[in-house]
Amino acid sequence: MDFISTRSMSKDLIEEILKSAKRFEPKKDFSQTLRGKVLATLFFEPSTRTQFSFQSAMERLGGNVLGFSTIEGTSVKKGETLVDTIRIISGYVDAIVMRHSKEGAAKLAADISPVPVINAGDGSHDHPTQTLLDLFTIKNNFKEFDGLDIGICGDLRYGRTGRPLSIALSNWRVKLHYISPPQLSMDGGTIKFLRDKGVQVKEVLKMEDAIKELDVLYMTRIQQERFPTEEEYLKFKGVYVVDKRIMSMAKEDMIVMHPLPRVDEIAIEVDDDPRAKYFEQARNGVPVRMAVLNRAITDSK
Ligand code: NCD
């Protein structure tokens, strides 16, 4: 099966992946699970965690990986279209993981590919496997989603992690606190979708106006590469910084998450705080992507 959009993942599917990922967590031998299968990782945009955790996940499952992390050295450089690239590569592999700067690129690939396609980020739109590992991290720390106050802070407009995380969380009774400058706020369509599903959504400008209530603070990077100009980006660079002062206002069991990479939005001094969970979150990419690959490849398309 494909993993393209978070909206189309049912609560049952999400729960099944989280449960399955738990099974893949311990360092047991899973090398027979996808033995002989081949995964293509096509990264048209930079990636560290997503690319390498998919690779690690596939190899731990006994499969093999081929792919590219820049278009240099591929026929894309000669002007080959995405459609042709997918047509060709899908003939060589059992599944495709793809990251692309254009919204909807993963859906297009899935429409023409006979093998499953997993969206590893399409523009500012979606990043479903990031959402799954974010949920996995929250569940590992709190056991239940119901009743949690979750703050999502930073670039909610261009970022592609806050929106799908919110959509997935709308399956439970959570309260969302959006912390952003008005110019980088969550789009109205998403807020309406969430409120229609019964989620309480509060929008604030300052971290200080939400921090005391939060169980989870999910920080995001200001997405420099998606701003029309450098000058526009510089207006927002460094607007939110979690440091010891902010942490001193937070609950004792609040957790800090971040999809990473961070630029300046979490001070290094926070790394030693037991509430800092972003490195644990990044590690969770492996078991969660093992569960996703297993489900994607085992289920016919
Ligand atoms: C994120 C992404 O690429 O959307 N990174 C990731 O996958 N962990 C977040 C970001 O780049 O800010």
Question: In the chain, what are the domain boundaries?
Answer: 6-126+284-298, 128-282
Q: Is 163 in the pocket of ligand 1 (CB under 6 A)?
A: no
pLDDT digits (tens, 9 = 90+) for 251-263: 999 999 999 999 9
The rounded mean pLDDT for the chain is: 96
**Do the Cβ atoms of 101 and 123 come closer than 8 Å?**
yes
Report the atom number in ligand 1 closest to the C-alpha of 223.
Answer: 12
Whether 6-126+284-298 shares its CATH topology with 128-282 is answered yes
Spell out the CATH class of 128-282: alpha beta
- 218 beta partners: 152, 257
Q: Is 258 in the pocket of ligand 1 (CB under 6 A)?
A: no
The pLDDT score that the predictor gives to residue 54 is 98
The pLDDT score that the predictor gives to residue 301 is 66
Give which of 50, 110, 61 is closest to 82, Cα–Cα.
110
Tokens 């998403």, located at residue: 190
DSSP E strands: which ranges in the chain? 38-43, 64-68, 95-100, 117-122, 149-153, 175-179, 200-204, 216-219, 255-257
The pLDDT score that the predictor gives to residue 299 is 86
* Cα–Cα–Cα angle for 192, 197, 199, rounded to 5 degrees: 80
Tokens 């509060």, located at residue: 202
Active site residues: 49-50, 78, 99, 127
List, edge to edge, every strand of the sheet that includes 38-43: 64-68, 38-43, 95-100, 117-122
Quote the ligand 1 centre to 227 CA distance (angstroms). 15
The pLDDT score that the predictor gives to residue 229 is 95
**Residue nearest atom 11 of ligand 1, based on CA coordinates:** 261
Instruction: Name, in order, each residue with C-beta under 8 angstroms of 261's C-beta and a sequence gap of 6 or more.
Output: 48, 221
Distance CA 213, CA 208 (A): 10
**Residue nearest atom 8 of ligand 1, based on CA coordinates:** 259
Lowest mean pLDDT among 45-54, 76-85, 274-283: 76-85
Q: What mean pLDDT is predicted for residues 234-249?
A: 97
Report the atom number in ligand 1 closest to the C-alpha of 155.
Answer: 12
Q: Is 90 in the pocket of ligand 1 (CB under 6 A)?
A: no
pLDDT digits (tens, 9 = 90+) for 121-165: 999 999 999 999 999 999 999 999 999 999 999 999 999 999 999
Return the axis-axis angle of helices 49-60 and 285-298, rounded to nearest 10°: 60
The model's pTM is: 0.97
Spell out the CATH class of 6-126+284-298: alpha beta
**Do the Cβ atoms of 122 and 103 come closer than 8 Å?**
yes
